Structures are given as structure tokens and as C-alpha cells.
A and B are shown apart, each in its own frame.
Chain A
């Protein structure tokens, strides 16, 4: 691509500070407006019980969106996470029932998720197979594996101690919500403040330039996919704890939900652009819309349509914003 010459020394956009703020904050503004609107207009929305429910509802998406952010920022994505969530829950349940040990169940499931991620990463980064195809394949393999291990039906868990992970509370908030908040903080820090995080964005922005600048591109990608697999497995374990069983057919379409939330917040699908603030905004917007529709008794069928439209609108808005600030560079 030979972009025609841009302007010599483009000055920072002048004009209203409001516009500049909007450019920076983008979806955070939308989130704030949405929250206010729902609080004022939707009955029962702004209540402690509903807020708790809302936070719990987005906690799983939030967790996995943290690692998906890295995946997208490095220019890839991962479709296998929904299957990993289900399969890890089943594995945790089966191992716990066999051994009677919570630790054994949790660590086996985590190791399994990391292994799936490692395989994804190796195939994408070292064998140079497209991430779409690779993770589409592992998505089906892992889903099948979950059915095989469980024998096709839910596996009830017999260890009461395990249920605390998903069902306990701390300072009035459910434990999964605390875990998600911690993930936001930790992964946000990694992205912004560590060499690994900055390398991730560079790899997504231009892999060839990153390679020539001494970044171990393949290693970065493999680490990201492995973390993604382990995180999805962890979410699966939390889910299994909440529902007290391993469900082989849960979380269908979860991968699209997570990717939608990231993109909604403004993470670029082509890599190189993303921040944790974007992801948090995206996850919360998705969650609030869903929650409000439930409170308003919007039938499920219509909810699908509404969610799709919102995603489309967000992407169009982002494009408009970029064109406006892109100037002549195109």
C-alpha cells in the first residue's frame, strides 16, 4: 500500500475540548449515558439486587475478554474458548468425582485449557495456519472431547467445598465478580506497563516490523493463546462451581459474545489497537443492554436481533470516528 503523502506535520486537532474528549473516551461515554438512561427509565434497574445480578452475569465474559483482548491486539482471535469452557467444566467434574480432590480437578482442567491454547498458538504461530481455521477446528475437537468425557450428559459434582468458588460472596459482591475485577486490573497492567504488553500491540500492528525490531513474534503469540486457553478453562471451572455440575453443551456461541464485547468497546479486529478500558466498556454495555431487555421482558428472539444491531452500530460509529480524525492520510 502506498498511501499518498499525508500532511507534513499534522497538528493536534484544534477546536472543542469536548470533541477531543469524546475521541479519547469514546465508548466510555456511551456506557455512562446508557447506564444513566437505564437507571432513570427502566424500573428495578438501579437496585442493589439487580446490580449484583448484572455484575455476576458479565463476570464470565469479562474474565475471558481480558485474554481475548491480547489475542485481538496481536492480530489473531480464538473461536475455541466456548468449547474449552464447557470441556474444562466437565473435566473438573469428572476428575473431582474420581479423585475426591478439588485441587486435582481444578489443576487438570486448567492444564487441559492451557494445552489447547498451546496447540492453537503453535499451529498459528509456527505452522502459519490462519487463526480462524485453526481455532474453528479446535473448537469442534474440544466440544466433541467434552461430550466424550461426560458421556453426553451433565456430570454432577459431589464435593460441596467446590461450590464456594462460584456461589460465595465477599463484601456483598459474588466471588466471580471479584475475580473478574482482578483480571481487569492485572491484564490491563500487563498490556500497558510491560514489555510483553507493548510487544503484543506491535505484533498486531505490523508483525514484520516487530520481527525486524527484535520481537520474538511467534513466542508472543504462543504465550497469548496459551493464556487464553487457561483463562477459558478457569471460567469453565467457575461456571461448573456455580451450577454444581460440568455441562458439556454449555456456552455455545460464547466466543462470539466475548469477541463482540471487545469489538464493541473499540478493540480493532485487525490488531494493534486496544486497551482494557475499551474491553470493560464493551463488556458492560453488552451486559446492561441484556439486563435491561430482560427487565423490560423483551422476548429472547428479539434480544438476538437487538444485540446484533448494537454491535453493527458500534463498528460503524468507530469507523466514522476514525475517518473524521484520520484526515487526508486515509
Chain B
């Protein structure tokens, strides 16, 4: 590869290292991002992508090494500095004010003024021009909070352009967008490229990278693995470089024997369900539940394990009726839930790995139900860390310092410290890197082999198809269909998941 000697790259990282107490987040990373190109940045969680973006945005200053913009070394003392140099980083959580109008958001901090007051007319006109530039039909006077998420993201992009940004970085921009909105975003990114911007694109989604990017830089454990033209790489090649080993098949599905009766749910009703649900899952079976957002999947899981109070319904395990009307009784019956939002509902972030692992089991192991059995808890934590290969320096580490995959393993470990008969998983691999995903699939299959009923809700079709023995499709609060593994296809499941009206059109 020969970079054109005439023009220096729009953005260059030059031997950038970043150290936090006890952690080397980046070590000697160098690569170029060229003007008029879309550059993918990939790596597992913890590979250093976020740290790199924070350095780019001026939030962090590298311990050593430097950043060059158009060939000139720059040190950003803060985010304002980076913006002034034409660098904008667009994060997952948008940095906009929902209570203000679109136009005010676009010009926040440098609103056009007349006699010391905001010049509303000039503001509206300028905002209109900016929105037209990216081809968005958004009313500049609309309150931002009323716009759908995708449009807010467009506003964020327009805002970057109003500041004259020429280097724009996206951090997982599509994680909450629909397919159509993703198309729209890609059109805009291609447009940015055509206008000579340098785009840095961070994502876990392989399809997107191959669709929209020209070049790629892969990081692993804070080190540069490779920078290459995407055309020279295959998906398998990218994954292999990310994880540092060959992952033939991350699901590694192996058929298992099923034993009925496992879990039987009958007449289950409650908020989020349009009609009572009946469901049977055999012991040793992995049931995938697929559906669009809002189809009632999360609600179904929460009703089964008593996280949400039900209005009617019975649950039986192995032919015997059990009480699962509250989490306490459900846990005692062996029905447990790994919730959808790990940070909000799963972990206790300010407590240690040990505390999080023993959160539930200690009620059972405490002496007389009162005194914590500390030696048991230490032993249990050690065993779970070993069994699930939880990567943590010690059991005393705060769980919030672990990567998403390891946090999820801790929550699994919390349940493996109990006697589990039914494991309910809600989006168990969301935001988790490939390596940890593969390990979690392995754990699910191992549990199923041991006779546990596994029920997994997921929005990712490849995952649902890859790991489930049977797939339940939910649609508008109803159980719409049950499809055996052999008959399930992406198109078929998607068709079943669409609302009636949409299916007639299709």
C-alpha cells in the first residue's frame, strides 16, 4: 500500500499508547484514515476502540504518541479543541438536548444573535439549509425529543457538519436503528465520503462493515493487528484477526436428547400479552423466541419468572405445578432470568464480582438464614469464575470494570450457584464480542445437556437459527408460531414476525 505522498492523510494515529492505573488500554497504535474514505475500526470489547475514540474526541490525552490532522501533530486539551479542529465523534448515546428544538440543537453554543438576543429567523433558515444538505425532511422547529431516534442521529450528524467537521467518527451508530433507517444512514455516510470527509466507523456488525467501509483497522487487546483494504479480507478473516484464533462456527450446535415434560406454561396472562399464552418446552431443549421489538417477548419471560406480576396462569416443571409468582419463589423452584438490560437489571455495578455472584445463593447458604457463610461464598465465587472463565483480576474487582461479556457470565454464574431447572435468557449476547458469545452458547448447550430447559429471547436471527432446537415466533403480544429447527429460515421467521397488515403488503 502506498499512501499518496502528495496529500497527508486526513487523520493519523502515530504510536498512540494509553495507560490507566493497572491497564494498558492502547499500546503503540498507528494507522491512517484518508480523506474521502470510510474506515472501519473493529475489535472485541476491550480491544481499545472506545479509548481510541475518546482520544480522538479530546476526552482523553494519550500517555504517549500523537494524533496528526492533515499531517500536523495536534494535542486536544478537550472536546471543544477537537471540534475546532474539525473532528466530531458521534456516540451511541447522542449528545443532544431533547427539550430544545432541532434548530437550537444544531447551533447549540453558537446561536445566531441579533442585538444580544437569539435571531430566530436566521436560526431557522440556517438550520433548514443544514438539514437539506444531508437530505433530511425534518422540521427545524420540532422539539428534538419528539423525533424518532434515527432522525435524532441525523440531527447529530447535521450538527457535526455545521461545525465544519471533516473527520467524523461513528460509535456503533446502528445499534438502535431499523433496517430502513440503517439504509438512510449509509446513504449519508456515502455522501460524506463523496464530499471528502474522513469517516471512522466503529461497529460489531460485520455485514455493515463490508457494505459501507473501504478500509479496516483491527485492534486486539489494545494493539494494532492490521490495517487493510476491506476488499482483501473475508468475514472469517476479520473475525479470526479480532479474536486471534479460528472460530469455525461460533454456535457449534450439537443435537441433544429431549425429555418431556420440562416446562409447561398454561394460560399465562399479564401486561404486554394480548392473549393467554400456552407453551411447552422439554427438558434439555433450547427454545428460541423471535419477534420484533414490542412483540411481548421480554414481557413473556418476566411473567414466567414472576418479575412482573401476572393476572392469570400456571407454571409446571417436570409435571409438577410450581409457584413462580415472585422472583423469590421462582428462584426456589429453579426458574431464573438473565434480564435484557444487563446494566439496569442484572448487575449491581458498585459491588464486587463475588457479591454479584452470591447475590441470590446466599439466601440459601447462610447459617440459620441470617449469617453469611463467607468461606462458602469465596469458594463458590472461585468455582464460578473458573467454570465460566470469567476474566477478572480477582473476585474482589468491581463488576462494572468488567467487559459486557464477563458481566453476563457473572449473571449466569449467579444462577449456576443455584439449582436451575429453567433458564430464561433475554438478549443474552447483546453488545458482547464474538469470543464471549461463543462461550455463552457453549454454556447454554452444556446446561441443556444436563437437562435444563433453556428459553432464549433474541432479535438476532442468525443467533436464533444457530442455537435453538425450536423457535417460537411472537407477534403483537401473541405466540404466533412454533417452528422446528429443520424448517426455520431467516425469511420464514421474519415473515411470521411481521404484523398482519405488513404481511399483506409484502
Q: Which residues of A contact B (CB under 8 A)?
A: 1-15, 193-198, 201-202, 205-206, 208-216, 268, 271-273, 324-325, 327-329
B369 proximal to A (CB < 8 A): yes
Decide: A202 near B21, CB < 8 A? Known: A209-B346, A214-B363: no
Contacts of A2 in B (CB 8 A): 92-93, 343, 431
In the complex, are the beta carbons of B22 and A13 less than 8 A apart?
yes
Min Cβ gap B324→A in Å is 11
CA distance A30 to B493 in the complex (A): 63
In the complex, are the beta carbons of A214 and B372 less than 8 A apart?
no
B393 proximal to A (CB < 8 A): yes
In the complex, are the beta carbons of B347 and A194 less than 8 A apart?
no
Decide: A196 near B370, CB < 8 A? Known: A214-B328, A329-B400: yes
Closest 7 A/B residue pairs (Cβ): A8-B46, A4-B50, A205-B348, A327-B20, A272-B350, A7-B23, A9-B391
B152 proximal to A (CB < 8 A): no
Contacts of A329 in B (CB 8 A): 400-401
Q: Which residues of B contact A (CB under 8 A)?
A: 20-23, 25, 44-47, 49-51, 53-54, 60, 92-93, 171, 221-222, 307, 327-328, 330-332, 337, 339, 343-351, 355, 358-360, 362-363, 366, 369-372, 374, 391-394, 397, 400-404, 406, 414, 431
Instruction: List 7 other contacts, CB 8 Å, given A195-B366, A327-B22.
Output: A2-B93, A5-B45, A5-B49, A7-B20, A9-B46, A10-B20, A205-B351
Of all chain A residues, the one with the shortest Cβ separation from B221 is A8
Partner of A214, one of B25, B46, B327, B350: B327
Min Cβ gap B190→A in Å is 26
In the complex, are the beta carbons of A327 and B307 less than 8 A apart?
no
Min Cβ gap A321→B in Å is 12
6 residue pairs bridging A and B, Cβ less than 8 Å apart: A8-B403, A198-B355, A205-B351, A209-B348, A213-B414, A214-B330
Contacts of B362 in A (CB 8 A): 195, 198
Decide: A3 near B360, CB < 8 A? Known: A11-B393, A194-B372, A205-B350: no
In the complex, are the beta carbons of A211 and B327 less than 8 A apart?
yes
Contacts of A324 in B (CB 8 A): 21
Listed residue (A208, A211, A214, A325) with the most chain B CB atoms within 10 angstroms of its CB: A214
Min Cβ gap A33→B in Å is 24
Contacts of B414 in A (CB 8 A): 213
CA distance A10 to B24 in the complex (A): 9
Decide: A206 near B348, CB < 8 A? Known: A5-B404, A195-B369, A196-B370: yes
Contacts of A201 in B (CB 8 A): 348, 351, 355
Min Cβ gap A159→B in Å is 37
Contacts of B392 in A (CB 8 A): 9
CA distance A197 to B374 in the complex (A): 13
Contacts of B21 in A (CB 8 A): 13-15, 324-325, 327
Min Cβ gap B25→A in Å is 5
CA distance A198 to B345 in the complex (A): 18
Min Cβ gap B323→A in Å is 13
Of all chain A residues, the one with the shortest Cβ separation from B172 is A2
In the complex, are the beta carbons of A193 and B371 less than 8 A apart?
yes
Contacts of A202 in B (CB 8 A): 348, 351, 355, 359
In the complex, are the beta carbons of B346 and A3 less than 8 A apart?
no
Min Cβ gap A117→B in Å is 21
In the complex, are the beta carbons of A195 and B363 less than 8 A apart?
yes
CA distance A110 to B366 in the complex (A): 31
Contacts of B351 in A (CB 8 A): 201-202, 205, 272
Decide: A213 near B359, CB < 8 A? Known: A3-B343, A206-B349: yes
In the complex, are the beta carbons of A10 and B23 less than 8 A apart?
yes
Partner of B345, one of A3, A194, A212, A273: A212
CA distance A271 to B414 in the complex (A): 21
Min Cβ gap A77→B in Å is 17
CA distance A213 to B414 in the complex (A): 9
Contacts of A211 in B (CB 8 A): 307, 327
In the complex, are the beta carbons of A214 and B331 less than 8 A apart?
yes
CA distance A268 to B221 in the complex (A): 33
In the complex, are the beta carbons of B49 and A210 less than 8 A apart?
no
Contacts of B20 in A (CB 8 A): 7, 10, 327-328
CA distance A214 to B336 in the complex (A): 10
In the complex, are the beta carbons of A10 and B50 less than 8 A apart?
no
Decide: A209 near B347, CB < 8 A? Known: A7-B46, A195-B369, A198-B362: yes
Contacts of A210 in B (CB 8 A): 348, 359
Decide: A208 near B344, CB < 8 A? Known: A5-B404, A201-B355: yes
CA distance A125 to B348 in the complex (A): 19
In the complex, are the beta carbons of B327 and A213 less than 8 A apart?
yes
In the complex, are the beta carbons of B337 and A212 less than 8 A apart?
yes
In the complex, are the beta carbons of B347 and A206 less than 8 A apart?
yes
Decide: A198 near B22, CB < 8 A? Known: A6-B46, A210-B348, A214-B360: no
Of all chain A residues, the one with the shortest Cβ separation from B93 is A2
Min Cβ gap A64→B in Å is 24
Listed residue (A9, A194, A208, A210) with the most chain B CB atoms within 10 angstroms of its CB: A9
Contacts of B360 in A (CB 8 A): 213-214
In the complex, are the beta carbons of A212 and B393 less than 8 A apart?
no
Min Cβ gap A26→B in Å is 15
Contacts of A8 in B (CB 8 A): 44-47, 221, 391, 403
Decide: A10 near B393, CB < 8 A? Known: A198-B355, A216-B328, A327-B22: yes
CA distance A2 to B22 in the complex (A): 23
In the complex, are the beta carbons of B370 and A327 less than 8 A apart?
no
Contacts of A205 in B (CB 8 A): 348-351
CA distance A120 to B316 in the complex (A): 39
CA distance A121 to B392 in the complex (A): 37
Contacts of A5 in B (CB 8 A): 45-47, 49-50, 403-404
